[in-house]
Structure 1
Amino acid sequence: MKMNNYYLELFEGRKNIIILPHILPDGDTIGSSIALFYALKKLEKRVYIILNDKLPSNLKFLNANSKIITTEDFEKLSIKPDLIITVDSSDTDRLGDRAYLLDLCSEVLNIDHHSTNTNYGKYNLVNSKAAACGEIIYELLKKLKIYIDKNIATALYVALSTDTGSFKYSNTTPLTLRIAADLIEKGIDFSFINTELYQNKPINKIKLLSDVLNSLELHFDGKLAVIYVTNDMLKKNKIDISDTDGIIEYARDIEGVNIAVLLKEFSDNTIKVSLRSKYDFDVSIIAKKFGGGGHKKAAGCTIYDTIDNAKNILLNTFRENFR
């Protein structure tokens, strides 16, 4: 969607703005939210990023926790927002237990890049061709004539890098790389950023990975791989579910595998499903069947059942495509 003056004028006269990243946050939703936080501060806005989830350990270097408050903290402030911005959330379910905050203000700006976005905002800045929400935020800041300093550039680079698999996924476009080049020219330490994002995994995550890979199952002549993250695995390895991002790639990267499925036991009878495809299969079609969404090669949904039943339900759904 083109960014006309309609969107730019949204920020005029707004004093209190809240930003809502999606649950189980990743680098794109956090990087984009932090970039917006810094940018709107330049416009002398009071900005609050509200999130109840823990951040993945590889994002700690952004010092994001100092900019994030919980819903409980926000309610204590007794502030009525003038504008609510959701970031990287294709539907309101992706906001989890913070969805009620949307009732605080009718002025909701939905910024997203998923083709399955339900356009739930009063204003919907949705571009499914963007590799990451970070691309959309970058263009927005350019239109707002907000100088992209090193802090903003770092956050946007994190958004782009993580949602493109360090610029190796097929969603990477010439525009993505041009934006990344501009961000590097702002003086960011991209070598340090890449080290923090991809080369500083806590030992507990490596131990968890061992357990997860031991759960590996191959189906349909090795074309589909399934792995699990159970609550018992998380407790055993003393690690939060927020640090399971990226594990699915180990299943997808197996020779002969076209589709990878990661089942995360979020709570009793609540299974978060991540889907990835390597070639042409559109996994968002499968996710939609269960009320989820996403992209052609990366999608997700929630199945309210046991982890074994969720696996069997998914296998029966995929079976139609492997006949």
Structure 2
Amino acid sequence: MVRKIAELIRDNRRFLVAAHGKPDGDALAATLALANALKSMGKEVVAYNQDHPPVDLQFLPGCDALVTTLEAGSRFDVGFILDAGSLDRAGSHLKEHCRLLVNIDHHPYSESFGAVNYVDVRACATGVLVYRILAFMNYTFDLPVATCVYTAILSDTGSFRYSNADREAFEVAGRMIELGVDPWEISSRLYESQPEERLHLLGMALGTLEVSPCGRYASLTVTLDMYQMAGASAEHTDRFVNYPRSIEGVEVALFYRQVDENRFKVGFRSRGRVDVGAIARQLGGGGHHNAAGALVDGSIDLVKQKVSRLLTPVLAAL
């Protein structure tokens, strides 16, 4: 599969690189790693996302060239869709702009929407899959590409704290450091450059903390009213779910984020014993064994009841 992708890169000229909307660290960094590398090979490249990048990721090299719209009639030889799981998460319209699509992903149950589908659920991050492709091509990694690859790995392994932080994650990250990546600088940009609004919102969210009677799952909630009071937005909620996850005895953490009057995005995080991806799929969402999400209609009380009905029997069986 890597060889096929390498041949497509060598044999074509115009490329689109995109990832799922509301990009996280892996999605955006993988996009920019591949886009920057293709540009350095002399290719014509457009890096695209349907949403603007989060503030804490705007330091990534090439981020200023990312576009959120495509010109009508623009055409590309190959469109790379990264970390998406399904084409609609990146934008179903993208297929109209590309002669063929390549799906590069590490999500389980990733849809085979590409002419080429490079999916490895064992990979710690989509950024690692991009690294494998470039390494196969004997690409000489420069600092901008190395910075993006390292950030993708750091982000999706939770700073190397999650179970997906495998040997490859450390080996590739180490190679990027040898090329000049400064781990402290990137960690500082990601985790220690927070806007004041985020902390105001976090204070409100922590006030909603609920721990189940069994002590095995816990949740935080953010509502539209809270955004308004804090002067914040959805992008400021990144990593909020890690707070209930850090409670001793909690197996599954939940983060309820209101997106409309009667709709909530539910984020799931597992310590490893519960496959939250399977639970999210029952709610119409998806994701990994340890990290998943779903959009659920209803009031916050109704949404919590729906989640509890699915989660409680799973935890009781542990």
Q: Does 1:274 align with 2:272?
A: no
Distance in structure 1 (CA, Å) of the matches to 2:78 and 2:298: 36
The aligned length equals 316
> What is the correspondence of 1:122-201 to structure 2 with a 5 Å cutoff?
122-201=115-194
Q: Does 1:83 align with 2:78?
A: yes
Greater RCO, CA 8 A, separation 6+: 1
Q: Compute the displacement of 1:285 (Å).
A: 0.8
1:270-294, CA deviations, whole angstroms, 9 ceiling, x for partnerless residues? 3222100113111111011122221
Q: Compute the displacement of 1:187 (Å).
A: 0.8
Distance in structure 1 (CA, Å) of the matches to 2:44 and 2:103: 19
> What is the correspondence of 1:21-170 to structure 2 with a 5 Å cutoff?
21-62=19-60, 64-71=62-69, 74-75=70-71, 78-95=73-90, 98-170=91-163
| TM-score using structure 2 length | 0.94
Q: Compute the displacement of 1:213 (Å).
A: 1.0
- Supply the RMSD in Å over aligned alpha carbons: 1.6
- Equivalent residue for 2:10? 12
18-27 or 154-163, which deviates more = 18-27
Check conservation: 2:52, 2:68, Cα contact below 8 A.
Answer: no
1:46-74, CA deviations, whole angstroms, 9 ceiling, x for partnerless residues? 11122232322221222554121112xx2
1:135-185, CA deviations, whole angstroms, 9 ceiling, x for partnerless residues? 111111011222110110001110000100111111011111011110000
Residue type of the alignment partner of 2:71: E
Residue type of the alignment partner of 2:195: P
| TM-score using structure 1 length | 0.93
Check conservation: 1:42, 1:146, Cα contact below 8 A.
Answer: no
Give the % identical residues. 33
Check conservation: 1:205, 1:244, Cα contact below 8 A.
Answer: yes
Distance in structure 1 (CA, Å) of the matches to 2:262 and 2:14: 38
Q: What SS does the aligned partner of 1:61 have?
A: coil
- Equivalent residue for 2:306? 313
Check conservation: 2:259, 2:265, Cα contact below 8 A.
Answer: yes
Distance in structure 2 (CA, Å) of the matches to 1:176 and 1:131: 6
Residue type of the alignment partner of 1:91: S
Check conservation: 2:276, 2:292, Cα contact below 8 A.
Answer: yes
Distance 1:274 1:70, change over 3 A: same
Q: What SS does the aligned partner of 2:76 have?
A: coil
Q: What SS does the aligned partner of 1:158 have?
A: helix
Distance 1:266 1:163, change over 3 A: same
Distance 1:220 1:10, change over 3 A: farther
Residue type of the alignment partner of 2:87: T
Distance in structure 2 (CA, Å) of the matches to 1:303 and 1:106: 35
> What is the correspondence of 1:153-302 to structure 2 with a 5 Å cutoff?
153-302=146-295
Residue type of the alignment partner of 1:75: E
308-317 or 24-33, which deviates more = 308-317
Q: Compute the displacement of 1:106 (Å).
A: 4.6
Q: Compute the displacement of 1:34 (Å).
A: 0.6
Structure 1, unaligned stretches of length 5 or more? none
Q: What SS does the aligned partner of 2:272 have?
A: coil
Q: What SS does the aligned partner of 1:262 have?
A: strand
Check conservation: 1:25, 1:242, Cα contact below 8 A.
Answer: no
Distance in structure 2 (CA, Å) of the matches to 1:23 and 1:186: 30
